[in-house]
Amino acid sequence: MALEKNLTPEDSHERVRRQTAVYVYEAPVRLWHWITAFGVLTLVITGFLIGRPPPSVSGEAIDHYLMGYIRFAHFAAAYVVTLAFIGRIYWAFVGNHHSRELFLVPIHRKRWWGELWHEIRWYLFLERTPRKYIGHNPLGQLIMFGVFVVGMVFMIITGFALYSEGTGVGSWQDQLFGWVIPLFGQSQDVHTWHRLGMWFMVIFVLTHVYVAVREDIMSRQSMTSTMLSGWRLFKDDRPD
Amino acid sequence: MSNTETFYQVMRRQGITRRSFMKYCSLTAAALGLGPAYALQIAHAMETKQRTPVIWLNGLECTCCSESFIRSAHPLVKDVVLSMISLDYNELLMASAGHQAQAALEASMENHWGQYILAVEGNPPLNEDGMFCISGGKPFVEKLKKSAEGAKAVIAWGSCASWGCVQAARPNPTQAVPIDKVITDKPVIKVPGCPPIAEVMTGVITYMLTFDRIPELDRQRRPKMFYSQRIHDKCYRRAHFDAGQFVERWDDDNARKGYCLYKVGCKGPTTYNACSTVRWNEGISFPIQSGHGCIGCSEDGFWDHGSFYDRLTNVNLFGIEKNADRVGMAAAGVVGTAIAAHAAVSAIKQTTQRKKKEAEQERNS
Ligand code: HEM
Ligand code: SF4
């Protein structure tokens, strides 16, 4: 959201947007962001190789464990990312109000829609000047939820369903996620969808990184450094 | 046939010694994954219980299930099972035909209403009121429904009855459906495979006869004792998989060395069956052992997943048939291009705006 909630309507625009720095991302959120970033990178690389393994190694089988390590790295990263994601959901309850932006898209607010429209026009080069936002801009927020959160949940559910095939009937993974396999048809279908999900995440990452870099350069607030320090810096003190 | 005979009596009548009988019981217990104590329980059941009538129907199918069944490996099994159950109706094995056979079916259903096991090989096509499969002058689906009504339990033999198999593959012109789409009020036990392994078939029947209940089933209603693990979990080439040693092409040295068939499309990692443990033809071999990947014949819709020789199989979305990487790379390519174009326009905009600002500042100063 563009506005701090606790400010009175009259002075809010002026005061907030004149500030040059606002603390947005608390430490756990930043930590989660980077754990997830490296985790997903690992998952994409190892996942790609699970479906298309590297060229065969030579020698005796007992001397190698290449696929084993690739799969182990995938599963280890999967657990880290999943636990971090659960931690992130917890933080949405106890953290500052920006920490909820990822999960709650305020589609019931008129102002949000107005800003969304503005943001779409800005990305279509129809607006000359961008607006200032403390948290996510509405378009960013929508994509964060609709692509990232939904994508992650999908990958975690299909991933653990595949994992349950290894841990076996009756394991907790099977009890929690085993139903996914007949839902998709059979195991091979879950593999295919999990792999499509990887490409979905790759596309998200491409867009996410591009937009962050572009906003850093072209918008009126900091992006990348905010995810490192937590502070949103504004480049000018014009309101709005 | 008399119904008062027990299994054991039948076996003795057939000249099977008690020693062989006990051997059979322990083998069966082992095959079912039960402890040694169960061998006695099986023996006891066989000595005291009456034979259970089985009605075996054939719908749209190729008879590979029957062919597999009668080749059950342990020499006793086929004799025993065939005498153990009172196979009242089976088009492949029965001597009678035509009206006689029809009469046998009706008599058996009448005499054992609510008692018999219905074993179904193949499936009913529903299109054109079921006219694509006529049995006894009527659509097979009618015979199936009628026989199911009086059945104690229903076994779906093979992938046809369980999932639909080849006749239900896209575009499924006859609208063949798995039998549990038609039989909805009875427990249907699915024993998929094209065909299922003989010992798995006899194992399931033996379990049901001795314990008088259906075996424990998984979510897809397959007996857990034979279908709870993938071929890949027990494959003897698994060490090569974990090591990263694959057959890259059918004629390469790795194929001769017996490396893992994953890259040439082995479906072992996604196929639930007992081939890698029970094996085929008296335990001689199974597809992977003879050098060919698993084609996943016991899995739902295995005909509709693209080539048997590709690891990444096709997605069928909105009429596109491409594997996940083709779809994903195409989408990523489009987005990547869009990003590049957007970045270029952004750069131009940024520069022109800066120039304008500079010009303004110059004018002001
Ligand atoms: C952003 C997150 C993730 C990405 C991009 C990803 C990517 C992939 C890809 C591309 C594959 C190969 C699919 C194939 O070709 O068959 C794969 C396999 C797999 N993934 Fe993930 N994955 C993610 C998250 C997870 C999670 C959270 C789990 C949970 C444990 C998981 C468990 C698995 C398993 C068990 C396999 C199958 C391994 C095998 O067949 O040997 N993944 N993943
Ligand atoms: S040959 Fe098939 S089942 Fe065996 S280890 Fe390789 S992929 Fe798995």
User: Is residue B102, in this structure, part of any structural domain at all?
Assistant: yes
Peptide bond into B195 cis (omega under 30): yes
Mean pLDDT of A112-123: 88
pLDDT at res. A209: 93
What is the interface pTM, i.e. ipTM, of the complex? 0.87
Report d(CA A229, CA B102) in Å as an integer.
Answer: 83
Average pLDDT, chain B: 87
3-state secondary structure of A181: helix
The tokens describing A237, both together, are: 């003190």
Q: What is the CATH number of domain A22-54+64-233?
A: 1.20.950.20
> pLDDT tens digit string along B203-249?
888 888 778 889 999 999 999 999 999 999 999 999 999 999 999 99
| Cross-chain Cβ contact A65/B243 below 8 Å | yes
Enter the pTM of the model.
Answer: 0.89
DSSP strand E in chain B: where?
Answer: 53-58, 86-90, 116-121, 134-135, 138-139, 151-157, 188-191, 314-317, 320-323
Report d(CA A127, CA A218) in Å as an integer.
Answer: 12
> pLDDT tens digit string along A175-207?
999 999 999 999 999 999 999 999 999 999 999
Contact of B123 with B162, CB cutoff 8 Å: no
**Interior angle at CA A138, CA A132 and CA A140, nearest 5:** 95
Our answer on whether the CB atom of A123 is closer than 6 Å to any ligand 1 atom is no
Which one-letter DSSP state was computed for residue A145?
A: I
Report d(CA B8, CA B24) in Å as an integer.
Answer: 11
pLDDT at res. A7: 43
Contact of A182 with B219, CB cutoff 8 Å: yes
Closest alpha carbon to B243 in A114, A61, A126, A2 = A61
For tokens 């071999």, name the residue: B285
Site to probe by mutation for ligand 2, drawn from B241, B257, B310 as the one with most ligand atoms within 8 Å of Cβ, is B241
**Strand pairing report for B116-121 and A21-23:** unpaired
Q: How many helices (H) and strands (E) does chain B have?
A: 15, 9
Count: domains in chain B: 1
Q: How far is CA B165 from the centre of its chain?
A: 9
The bound ligand whose nearest atom lies closest to the alpha carbon of A166 is 1
Site to probe by mutation for ligand 1, drawn from A82, A194, A195, A199 as the one with most ligand atoms within 8 Å of Cβ, is A194
pLDDT at res. B319: 65
Domain that holds residue B51: 7-227
Q: Indicate the pLDDT class of residue A10, thresholds 50, 70 and 90.
A: very low
CATH number at residue B146: 3.40.50.700
The tokens describing B65, both together, are: 């299930």
Q: How far is CA B362 from the centre of its chain?
A: 80
pLDDT at A6 over 50: no
Report d(CA B147, CA B113) in Å as an integer.
Answer: 9
Output the CA B231–ligand 2 centroid distance in Å. Answer: 7
